Amino acid sequence: MAKASAPAANSDILRDHAGQGFHINGYDYKILADTSGFRHTVSDSSKAISVRFDWAFGAGKVGQSFLSETKTEDFTRSVLATSIACMPSM
């Protein structure tokens, strides 16, 4: 339980996967490192959204989940949860 949650900036999984991405159904997904930690971007041919990962949950043996808090005009708070599964090399 010691690694149940931590600031996302301390996540080895995000650090190891920064710069990597994938493409599904017309959308590009990418993890980026910046001066404040790590960001998750989703884009298509016309627009993009990028949010900072705030918290990491899980020890990373099977995967980690990340939470981001954002403020929008419509909501004072919204939370985006993203999970990254780690598959051992075979």
The residue ranges of every structural domain in the chain are 5-85
Average pLDDT over residues 20-42: 89
- Min mean pLDDT across 7-16, 21-30, 61-70 is at 61-70
Q: Output the six-digit token pair for 63.
A: 């995967």
SS3 36: coil
DSSP state of 10: G
Strand partners, 66: 56, 82
Note the Cα 17 to chain centre separation in Å. Answer: 10
Give the mean pLDDT of the chain: 77
Q: Are 71 and 15 in contact (CB under 8 A)?
A: no
pTM above 0.85, yes or no: no
Q: Quick one: pLDDT band at residue 62, thresholds 50, 70, 90?
A: confident
pLDDT over 70 at 66, yes or no: yes
Average pLDDT over residues 62-77: 68
Distance, CA of 44 to CA of 37 (rounded, Å): 24
pLDDT over 50 at 5, yes or no: yes
Note the Cα 5 to chain centre separation in Å. Answer: 14
Q: Is 43 exposed, middle or buried, given 0-12, 13-18 or 19+ CB atoms closer than 10 A?
A: middle
